[in-house]
Structure 1
Amino acid sequence: MPENEPRRRSPSRRGRPMRGRGCKRCADRRPIDYKDTAFMGRFIEPTGKLIPARKSGCSGPCQRRIALATKRARHLALLPYVAAHVRVGDWLSLLEAAGVPVWNPPALVRWNLDKRYLLELGRLGIPVVPTVALNTPSAEGGAAVMRERGWTEAVVKPAWDARGFAVGRVHLSELTEDPLGPGMLDRPLLVQEYVPAISEQGEVAFVFCGGTFSHALLKRPSAGEFRVNAQYGGSVTAMEPRTISEGLQQASSQHFLRHRCTRGSMES
């Protein structure tokens, strides 16, 4: 090769991305998957900051791919809270202690993690579906609640719930030992009266930004379904409510809702 001619890189390496492969300095060369929380947790500090390459043992190219995966994973940061409620609370405390800016105040996020806030909204005069909390749940306790209130059908859900996770519709005569599946009686549950109107007409979510009403959404379940979540075929459309109850306005001005400046829904 002439002395002045620039050296060319091997075609086998030039411009070829190492997509989905770990670098030689990674401990196990696992694929870089931003949805793999166990893997990503090795490279992200509790505050959400990326661990430097000199500490994680990654090469430069691998570190850059992990940085990109971290950005993609940020919107999934709170998804595990259904199964790891306490860990998420600890994580929020770490963010507070480190002074990390959070879009919604951690105190508000903690309040919103636990569906027992429905009882608090009810005490403020907001019409909510009749709800009873079972802090030490059992099938017998759920049946007793239904008998006392004259409910033949009820919706049972974990207090730490999202996207319809482990939500079940039960009939008093068919209440099983563990209506939501194995291991679901070790956490607080909510028992709610089944309201056929939700299956037939849907439910309305009122969205407040900074304590001021912004818009409303009509959530409808698919045919034969009672859950309005998208994974069960539910749909969401904008709507213009005729009136907004005084209770909703009052609740939106409370301290725990006043600071919410992003999407937030209060369902009735």
Structure 2
Amino acid sequence: MITFTTCKHWPLPGKALQLVCQALEAKGLAADCVPWQEMDHQHLAQSKVILPLAAWDYSESPEAFAQWLNESVERGVGVLNAPELMQWNMNKRYLLELAKQGVTTIPTRFIKTADPTELKAVLSDCGWDEVVLKPACGQSGNGVQRYSVTALSLPMLPEQSFNQGWIIQPFMPEIQQVGEVSLCFLWGEYSHAVRRMPATGEWRANSQYNVAVSLFTPDADTITTASNILQQLPSSTAYARVDGLLTNEGFVLSELELIEPALFLDIVPEAVEKFCAGLEYFVAQI
């Protein structure tokens, strides 16, 4: 059994996962979708491999999610991507590590708590006029705030809801001008890309904010840059999404999605076959 985990808040698979399950079943491979919180011993015993592609609420209980990943491996289940890689990817502090390795990222600072004094000190040190605040462990734009340094008061950060720290980045106007591009990789190879354009008057390129998604053809340099980022990871990936902005200086990484990215397989049918062929091969090796 190949199990794609969803989550208790959104237990049903979306169109993309439905297409993947249908393609796997056409190959004679059983597939199902189960909320990760409901993956009991019986489900684990029946699963050869687990992919948490729709675990869209893990940031609400990251410790429990990480424990579940580790327990799955301990019970002999294959997990994609590698649990240690996903746990590293759960906290956006990974952007700081990638920047130290030479990856061009949106400039990023980290604060441990929502202390206004600490936030003010960082803003003063960086000299940014307008910033975006993101929970270090967060999903789908939840808790993300945009803040002008010239405002009379500091933003109120919901400390109890997001207790893994915060990252601070300068606001990048390109997000409203040309949108964010997402390059999707399957089994380590570039597959396809989309442009995600925020709605008029909006700056968050997330589905809950009515983002417009369209197929996009990146140039060779952008594909190479994104591929090189993945090559710096400690393990290979079955799937990955490299998000970034196209600036005058080239591709700038905004986020690296290695856990539950939308891969837009429902608008790229040939990618479904490629993904499923890789899964078929992976299962055969177990």
| TM-score range for the pair, normalised by the shorter chain length | 0.5 to 0.7
Q: Give the CA RMSD over aligned residues.
A: 3.0
> Match of 2:209?
232
Aligned CA distance change for structure 1 residues 42 and 129 (closer, same or farther; 3 Å): closer
Structure 1 residues 140 and 243: alpha-carbon distance in aligned structure 2, compared to 1, 3 A threshold: farther
Higher strand share goes to which structure? 2
**Aligned partners of 1:75, 1:122: CA distance in 2, in Å?**
26
* Conserved 8 A contact 2:44-2:75: no
Report what 1:59 is aligned to: none
The corresponding residue for 1:167 is: 144
Runs of 4+ in 1 over 6 A off after TM superposition: 40-43
Equivalent runs, 1:198-237 vs 2, <5 Å: 198-237=175-214
| Deviation, structure 1 residue 195 | 1.0
The reply on whether 1:141 has 2:118 as its aligned counterpart is yes
Q: Deviations over 1:172-205 (max 9, x none)?
A: 2337565333525643100010111112211122
State the alpha-carbon separation in 2 of the partners of residues 44 and 252 from structure 1.
29
* More relative contact order, 1 or 2 (CA 8 Å, 6+ apart): 2
Change (3 A) 1:100 1:42: closer
Query: Does 2:146 match 1:151?
Result: no
Contact 1:212-1:252 within 8 A present in 2 as well = no
Question: Residues 147 and 155 of structure 2 are in contact (CA less than 8 Å); yes or no, is this contact kept in structure 1?
Answer: no
Structure 1 counterpart SS, 2:239: coil
Aligned partner of 1:132 in structure 2 is 109
Preserved CA contact (<8 Å) 1:136 1:186: yes
**Any stretches of 5+ residues in structure 1 without a counterpart?**
1-32, 52-73
Take 2:191 and 2:143, find their aligned partners in 1: how far apart are those partners?
Answer: 31
1:249 aligns with 2:227: yes
- The alpha-carbon distance between structure 1 residues 227 and 46, as it changes in their structure 2 partners (threshold 3 A), is farther
Q: Does 1:96 align with 2:73?
A: yes
1:45 maps to amino acid: D
What residue ranges of structure 2 are gaps of 5+ in the alignment?
1-6, 12-34, 47-51, 245-252, 254-286
Matched pairs, number: 210
Closer/same/farther in 2, CA of residues 43 and 142 from structure 1, 3 Å limit: closer
What do residues 20-65 of structure 1 show as CA deviations (whole Å, max 9, x unaligned)?
A: xxxxxxxxxxxxx96498xx899652684499xxxxxxxxxxxxxx
Contact 1:154–1:192 at 8 Å: present in 2 too? yes
- Is contact 2:186-2:239 (8 Å) kept? yes
TM-score (norm 2): 0.64
Cα deviation per residue 1:106-138 (whole Å; 9 max; x = unaligned)? 122212211111122222322221110112442
Distance 2:168 2:220 in 1: 29
1:1-268 equivalences under 5 Å are 35=9, 44-45=39-40, 48-49=43-44, 76=54, 78-174=55-151, 176=153, 179-181=156-158, 183-184=160-161, 186-245=163-222, 247-256=225-234, 258-267=235-244, 268=253
Higher-Rg structure is 1
Q: Secondary structure at the match of 2:150?
A: helix
How many percent identity over aligned positions? 27
CA contact (8 A) 2:131 2:170 kept: yes
Q: In 2, distance between residues paired with 1:96 and 1:175? A: 50
CA offset at residue 79 of structure 1?
2.6
Return the alpha-carbon distance in structure 1 between the equivalents of residues 183 and 71 of structure 2: 31
Q: Assess, with a 3 A threshold, how the Cα gap between structure 1 residues 262 and 148 changes in structure 2: closer, same or farther.
A: same
Secondary structure class of the residue paired with 1:222: coil
Aligned residue type for 2:40: E
TM-score, length-scaled by structure 1: 0.68
Counterpart for residue 28 of structure 1: none
Distance 1:41 1:163, change over 3 A: closer
SS at match of 2:168: strand
Q: Determine if contact 1:146/1:172 at 8 Å carries over to the other structure.
A: yes
Report the CA distance shift for 1:134/1:42 in structure 2 as closer, same or farther (over 3 A): closer
